[in-house]
Amino acid sequence: MRRIDLFAVSLLVLSMAAPAWAQFKEGDPGGTKQGVTQTHKWQAGVIVTAMGGPCKAIVGYVPVPSEWPEQTVKVVDQTLSPGAKISYLTVDEGARVMVVNIPLVPLNEEAKALLTFEVKRTAQLPPEDKDSLQFAEPKSLPLAIHRYLGPGPKIETRDPKIREAAKDVGSNCDKAWKHVEAIYDWVREKVQYKTGGAFKGASAALKDGVGNHDDMTALFIAVCRAADIPARFVWVDQFSYAEFYLLDKKGDGHWFPCAPAGARVFGEMPDTKPILEKGDNFSPPYSKNKKDRQYFLREFLAVKPVANGGQPRVQFVRKPM
């Protein structure tokens, strides 16, 4: 998930506003219930060494943990080289990145921008009243939710076999919860879980009958979306799972987790690894191509070309402490 791009860049327009999803600190009434809370330390940032000449006007970003109903985040330590500045940008409402600006790194010298976060992650327990949960009308969904009904990288909602499954699987269920659970069970029946390997996506996993956790999660999401049920990826360290969206009896919407691969986990999430991103169709801030999309927002670095300038040796940092 690492990438380095070198070219001249313009200044990014940054949004410093707190994300709308940073508010539910006492749980999610009508949705999942709170379980145990664990505290983690997580470090993210970049180390740049100028090779062959000085490097100027460096700009880059690194995804960092952000706040969700089940997660709180705060900075507890930072290492910033002289002149380095940081800010934050929220991308497509599902990822937060630390943007780094470094005006100059002299030849053979090193510049750092490293932050250590304290992440408190709460396990999610099943909702109390599953039978009252309902599907939302797609036309009534706000844009922030409606985005999770369409295709995305590796999530081929228009695949005929996926559309056929969306039409048939769960169609005899009289409850929304049971309908989504039927899709979950169908994915686990059709695809054998195999660890490792590259992420090949929903269509390939269904065709091959085997896939890793990302593949199985993508297939679950694709079938849900093709059935007009909002669903999305949740990315944690070295793993991913899914969330699906339903309304409670008051008409309020909630996201519910499930892990299609591995041990059976549906409607709850006992794992408390820090959440890195939610979503799977990110528009990278640096890209000049409006159609460029990433299922996981990757790190990025750019250096302005100058006469007698050098090339940066880049080490991105994203790890538990």
- What is the C-alpha to C-alpha distance for residues 72 and 26, in angstroms, rounded to an integer? 11
Residue 234 within a domain? yes
Q: Which of 5-9, 90-94, 118-122, 265-269 has the lowest mean pLDDT?
A: 5-9
Residues in Cβ contact with 224 at an 8 Å cutoff, skipping those fewer than 6 apart: 166, 180, 183, 230, 231, 242, 244
Count CB-CB contacts under 10 A for residue 119: 24
Residues in Cβ contact with 190 at an 8 Å cutoff, skipping those fewer than 6 apart: 206, 209, 219
Shared domain check, 116 and 44:
yes
* Residue 289 CB-density burial (10 A; 0-12 exposed, 13-18 middle, 19+ buried): exposed
Task: Give the residue from 267, 291, 311 where a domain finishes.
Answer: 267
Shared domain check, 257 and 176:
yes
Shared domain check, 255 and 171:
yes
Residues in Cβ contact with 139 at an 8 Å cutoff, skipping those fewer than 6 apart: none
Give the tens place of pLDDT for each residue, 133-171. 999 999 999 999 999 999 999 999 999 999 999 999 999
Q: What is the dihedral of CA 254, 255, 258, 260, to 10 degrees?
A: 120
Average pLDDT over residues 174-192: 98
Query: Residue 258 corresponds to which tokens in the numbers above?
Result: 């499930």
Residue 248 within a domain? yes
* Confidence at residue 306, expressed as pLDDT on a 0 to 100 scale: 79
DSSP state of 131: G
Shared domain check, 100 and 138:
no
* Confidence at residue 7, expressed as pLDDT on a 0 to 100 scale: 29
> Is the confidence at residue 230, as pLDDT, over 90?
yes
- What is the C-alpha to C-alpha distance for residues 183 and 30, in angstroms, rounded to an integer? 22
Residue 199 within a domain? yes
Using pLDDT thresholds of 50, 70 and 90, give the confidence band for residue 16. Answer: very low
Residues in Cβ contact with 137 at an 8 Å cutoff, skipping those fewer than 6 apart: none
Shared domain check, 180 and 72:
no
Residue 18 within a domain? no
Task: Give the residue from 267, 290, 307 where a domain finishes.
Answer: 267
* Confidence at residue 199, expressed as pLDDT on a 0 to 100 scale: 97
222: helix, coil or strand? Answer: helix
CATH of the domain at 305: 2.60.40
Tokens 């559309």, located at residue: 163
* Contact present, 320 and 41 (Cβ < 8 Å): yes
Shared domain check, 61 and 85:
yes
Shared domain check, 173 and 241:
yes
Domain that holds residue 145: 128-267
* Contact present, 86 and 98 (Cβ < 8 Å): yes
Give the tens place of pLDDT for each residue, 128-143. 999 999 999 999 999 9
CATH of the domain at 245: 3.10.620.30
Residue 16 within a domain? no
Q: Which of 203-217, 242-256, 261-275, 305-319 has the lowest mean pLDDT?
A: 305-319
Phi and psi torsions of 62, nearest 5°: -135, 130
* Contact present, 231 and 281 (Cβ < 8 Å): no
Shared domain check, 133 and 119:
no
Number of domains comprising the chain: 2
Both ends of the chain: CA-CA distance in Å? 19
Residues in Cβ contact with 146 at an 8 Å cutoff, skipping those fewer than 6 apart: 138, 230
Shared domain check, 191 and 66:
no
Give the tens place of pLDDT for each residue, 280-303. 999 999 888 888 999 999 999 999
Shared domain check, 114 and 230:
no
Shared domain check, 139 and 262:
yes
Shared domain check, 152 and 237:
yes
149: helix, coil or strand? Answer: helix
User: pTM here?
Assistant: 0.89
Residue 259 within a domain? yes
Residue 233 within a domain? yes
Residue 314 within a domain? yes
